[in-house]
């Protein structure tokens, strides 16, 4: 700029695609036409411990279960990696916290009283960072250490969900997508991150369990299954029955920001925003989408926008017709959306670079194309675990831990070692899809980047502005000798591994095993969160130890 209910280096997206957006650029440049975007799916995060190499298809469990992983897909990959263990004394604390003081005796057989704020973690304290500030990595009463549990990205902004269901966002903000009541970017100047970066006010008592970002908008799902969205709203993607942006002026957030009306008693199991649309998988196993109707992404048999006028949401918003099937997982890219069916198989609608049907026709933009008339994606006998979508291509991680990509790949996006276009003709999908050679099993895909079983990250495709994090701006994957063992992993720092990826337009972010977040690639709007607008990863010596972690607390 990307679940297992599931876009960005194209760069690409994550079912964990990017298509043409109906939204105005709002500061985006011409790179967005060929690069990746942000994708969303039901696998939205990474596990606390790395999973065994899976042999079955994606889980259908509720993404509320922390500790499970995916790209933006059905199982919530926003695991609590990096959080401190609050059930027993431990030396593992959130970044920035202090370590445990084992001396609990006063010498007289009595236990010394814990003093919160003294910088020493005493018995009975989960953390102690030397202050009583509740806005940093330790609660003001030292009862809880805060850590990043989920990381998601739009085209040019990034948000994280923190222990306790609170949210922080940085980067591009012309429409209020950061939710701070103004249109000022954050992270592009010194002194804007850490404790100076406010939490997003989403209303009293609302605990966030999942985040999903579109091109210029942001959405959150709460513990009660309700949803709020804020940011750019030209085509109704916020689902509020108007085209007024939210979050760019004071008094628009918090309790003043309405919940999205999805019908009486509706409970959202997974939220998937990307590009100029938002989709939701409800607890009845069916999907609703709203926003821009371009390319039939809303699956309504037309290209009309939905959610931009009164009377279009709630019970008036139809379920997407996928035939006599319930949905177990949902993924969203800029160019369309995909749903895994409980009966097996995947159906996708929208642009052809996503649908995987073997032609160049969009699906869902004309009557008679959905329901039983919508073919299942031709993916062969191996089930996909998660998806990642770029503007003009799509990728998936399969149960055999291989990544396969289709769509336009003239700049190496398909990772085949040559320019290629796949999926636009019969006989190119399914068993004929060629695995991307990554010299190791993949467990997560974020469009042009993959996380391998050992926690390393490899990226390919368009390299402009350091999008691939390899110290250059050259493309990778369109020439022989660039993939497999010849493709080095990204340097995340000594001993560091990734537990979750998020793709952006011309860049990506990784949540690391130590709880920190690092981002690389384009940085014109402060989306790297390091207090300047210099790209990172486009020159030698900018990665590894030299790439600062985002200061979140």
State the pLDDT confidence band at 235, using cuts at 50, 70 and 90: very high
**Cβ 118 vs Cβ 125: under 8 Å:** no
When pLDDT is averaged across residues 296-310 and rounded to a whole number, the result is 97
What is the C-alpha to C-alpha distance for residues 267 and 286, in angstroms, rounded to an integer? 11
110 confidence band (pLDDT: 50, 70, 90): low
Residue 176 has pLDDT above 90, yes or no: yes
With cut-offs at 50, 70 and 90, classify the pLDDT of residue 229.
very high
pLDDT higher than threshold 60 for residue 360: yes
Closest CA to 144 of 118, 157, 170, 163: 163
Q: Name which of 122-131, 360-369, 371-380 the model is least confident about.
A: 122-131
Assign 535 to helix, strand or coil: coil
Which of 140, 148, 193, 185 is CA-nearest to residue 166?
Answer: 148
Residues 408-463: tens digit of each pLDDT: 999 999 999 999 999 999 999 988 999 999 999 999 999 899 999 999 999 999 99
Q: Is residue 263's pLDDT more than 60?
A: yes
Beta-bridge mates of residue 332: 40, 337
User: pLDDT per residue over 494-542, tens digit each?
Assistant: 999 999 999 999 999 999 999 999 999 999 999 999 999 999 999 999 9
pLDDT of residue 111: 58
Taking CA atoms, 216 is separated from 28, 183, 258, 504, 542, in Å, by 10, 12, 18, 12, 28
Tell me which of 66-80, 340-354, 385-399 is least confident.
66-80
Q: What is the mean pLDDT of residues 375-383?
A: 86
Region 383-403: what's the mean pLDDT? 93
Helix (H, G, I), strand (E, B) or coil at 189: coil
Position 185 confidence tier, pLDDT thresholds 50, 70, 90: very high
- The pair phi, psi for residue 166, each rounded to 5°, is -100, 160
Domains in the chain and their CATH numbers?
A: 1-53+62-81+147-553 (2.130.10.30), 84-102+111-143 (no CATH)
Query: What is the model's pTM?
Result: 0.81
- DSSP reduced 3-state for 468: coil
pLDDT of 361 above 70: yes
Q: What is the CA radius of gyration of the chain?
A: 22
Strand order in the sheet with 442-446: 442-446, 449-452, 457-459
Torsion, CA 314, CA 363, CA 41, CA 180, rounded to 10 = -60
Contact (CB, 8 A) for 151 and 158: yes
Q: Can you give the pLDDT at residue 380?
A: 80
Please, which residues bridge with residue 8 across strands? none
DSSP 31: G
User: For residue 9, is pLDDT > 90?
Assistant: no
Handedness of CA 462, 464, 466, 467 (dihedral sign): negative
The residue among 32 and 414 whose pLDDT is bigger is: 414
pLDDT at 39: 56
Closest CA to 222 of 176, 153, 278, 268: 268
Residue range 111-168, pLDDT digits in tens: 567 899 888 998 888 888 888 887 778 888 888 888 999 999 999 999 999 999 999 9
Collapsing DSSP to helix, strand or coil, 50 comes out as coil
Would the pLDDT of 13 be above 60?
no
Q: Of 60-69, 143-152, 245-254, which one has max mean pLDDT?
A: 245-254
Task: Specify the pLDDT at position 198.
Answer: 97
Of 1 and 482, the one with more pLDDT: 482
**pLDDT of 289:** 98
What average pLDDT is seen over the chain? 84
pLDDT attached to residue 381: 76
Q: What is the pLDDT of residue 170?
A: 98
Q: Could you give the CA distance from residue 67 to residue 376 in angstroms, rounded to a whole number?
A: 30
* Model pLDDT, residue 40: 58
Nearest to 15 by CA among 245, 242, 354, 343: 354
Once rounded to an integer, what is the mean pLDDT over residues 232-243?
98
């Amino acid at each position: 700029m990307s679940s297992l209910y599931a876009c960005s280096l194209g760069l690409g997206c994550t079912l964990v695609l990017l298509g043409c957006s109906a939204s105005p650029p709002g500061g985006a440049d011409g790179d967005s036409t060929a690069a990746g975007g942000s994708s969303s799916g039901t696998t939205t995060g990474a596990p606390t411990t790395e999973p065994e190499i899976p042999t079955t298809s994606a889980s259908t469990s509720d993404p509320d279960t922390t500790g499970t992983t995916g790209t933006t897909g059905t199982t919530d990959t926003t695991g609590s990696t990096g959080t401190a263990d609050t059930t027993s004394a431990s030396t593992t604390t959130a970044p920035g916290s202090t370590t445990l003081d084992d001396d609990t005796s006063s010498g007289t057989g009595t236990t010394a009283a814990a003093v919160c704020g003294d910088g020493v973690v005493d018995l009975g304290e989960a953390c102690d960072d030397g202050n009583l500030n509740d806005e940093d990595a330790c609660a003001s009463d030292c009862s809880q250490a805060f850590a990043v549990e989920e990381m998601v990205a739009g085209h040019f902004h990034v948000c994280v969900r923190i222990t306790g269901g609170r949210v922080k966002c940085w980067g591009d903000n012309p429409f209020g997508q950061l939710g701070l009541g103004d249109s000022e970017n954050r992270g592009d100047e010194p002194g804007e991150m850490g404790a100076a970066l406010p939490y997003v006010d989403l209303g009293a008592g609302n605990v966030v369990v999942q985040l999903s970002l579109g091109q210029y908008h942001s959405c959150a799902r709460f513990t009660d299954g309700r949803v709020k969205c804020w940011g750019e709203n030209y085509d109704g993607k916020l689902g509020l029955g108007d085209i007024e942006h939210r979050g760019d002026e004071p008094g628009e957030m918090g309790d003043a920001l309405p919940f999205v009306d999805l019908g009486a008693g509706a409970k959202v199991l997974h939220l998937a925003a990307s590009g100029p649309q938002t989709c939701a998988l409800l607890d009845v196993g069916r999907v609703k989408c709203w926003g821009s109707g371009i390319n039939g992404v809303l699956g309504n048999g037309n290209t009309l926008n939905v959610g931009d006028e009164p009377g279009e949401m709630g019970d008036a918003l139809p379920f997407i017709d996928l035939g006599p099937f319930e949905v177990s997982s949902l993924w969203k890219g800029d160019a369309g959306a995909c749903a895994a069916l409980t009966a097996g198989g995947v159906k996708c609608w929208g642009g052809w670079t996503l649908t995987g049907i073997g032609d160049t026709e969009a699906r869902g933009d004309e009557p008679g194309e959905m329901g039983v008339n919508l073919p299942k994606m031709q993916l062969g006998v191996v089930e996909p675990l998660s998806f990642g979508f770029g503007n003009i291509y799509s990728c998936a991680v399969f149960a055999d831990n291989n990544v396969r990509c289709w769509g336009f790949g003239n700049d190496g996006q398909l990772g085949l070692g040559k320019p290629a276009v796949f999926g636009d003709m019969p006989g190119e999908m399914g068993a004929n899809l060629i695995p991307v050679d990554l010299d190791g099993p993949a467990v997560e895909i974020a469009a042009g980047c993959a996380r391998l079983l050992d926690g390393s990250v490899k990226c390919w495709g368009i390299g402009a502005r350091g999008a691939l994090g390899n110290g250059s701006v050259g493309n990778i994957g369109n020439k022989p000798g660039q993939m497999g063992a010849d493709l080095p992993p990204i340097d995340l720092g000594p001993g560091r591994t990734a537990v979750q990826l998020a793709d952006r337009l011309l860049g990506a972010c990784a949540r690391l095993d130590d709880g920190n977040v690092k981002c690389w690639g384009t940085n014109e709007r402060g989306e790297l969160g390091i207090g300047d607008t210099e790209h990172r990863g486009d020159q030698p010596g900018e990665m590894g130890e030299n790439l600062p972690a985002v200061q979140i607390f």
